[in-house]
Structure 1
Amino acid sequence: MSSSVSSREPAPSSARLSTVVLDARDAHELAAFYQRLLGYVVRAEEPHWVLIGPPPGTAGTSLAFETEPDYVPPVWPTRSPGDQQMMLHLDIEVDDLEAEVARAVAQGARLADHQPQDDVRVLYDPSGHPFCLWTGTPS
């Protein structure tokens, strides 16, 4: 199996990425945070699972949250072997980086100590998942 990404046209597929799922100790608590942050609505919920997405008629990616009682937050950046590694993070584009960072923190996020770029801010959600707020550079 090759480890490089092919630039060839992909074969037809009926597969479509529909949702990104994040584990948390409390799925409902984390869903509520992202609902406030993104202005999303609840699309479905069960006792240990919640699906949120953009309001009807607007584009965006759905997010789901699943309760995992033994959830361990990742360490970012990784500091030592054996740290729980980050498996993914969300990139969220914003128009006003400073204002959206302040709003995210007011909603329950916390700013990471390490900030790798001027036009990106790394934050942690209430479950400890890193996510990035970023703004495009004016052309």
Structure 2
Amino acid sequence: MNPLTCSRLNTSYRWLIRGGDLLQPLLLLLFRLWIANVFFKSGLTKIDDWDTTILLFTEEYHVPLLPPAIAAALAAAGELGLSALLALGLGGRFAAAGLFILNAVAVISYPGLTEATREFHYYWGMLIAVVLAFGPGLLSVDALLRLWAGRCAARD
């Protein structure tokens, strides 16, 4: 191969990688906000009509090992609290892990899911898995805390 062609390919490849590196924080933020919105709305729906929520957890959702009232309370608290943490990127991997588990339990415990709604849960699970794998990214409270801790350590 021509040395000039190799040089151009190498330069193009480096630009492509750099572009991906610049997009990663934005994509992670987008994924976090998208998932946080889905789960936060679900949590709000649960607390909006608690009697109906308890009824659903008693009759429709068959959460293994937990009484319906406890499962409902844990689901609502998890959806509201973990989605808020995920949106901020505070304890991002912890929040993502918790929401991943909630999502998996929803798929397992609700036999009435249609194929289309099951696909949504798979999609959300994949987005959460990305945050689990890469962390919340540079546009997060976790990143600010790491920066602050590094500066504090450098001063000591």
TM-score relative to the length of structure 2: 0.29
Structure scoring higher RCO (CA < 8 A, sep ≥ 6) equals 2
TM-score relative to the length of structure 1: 0.31
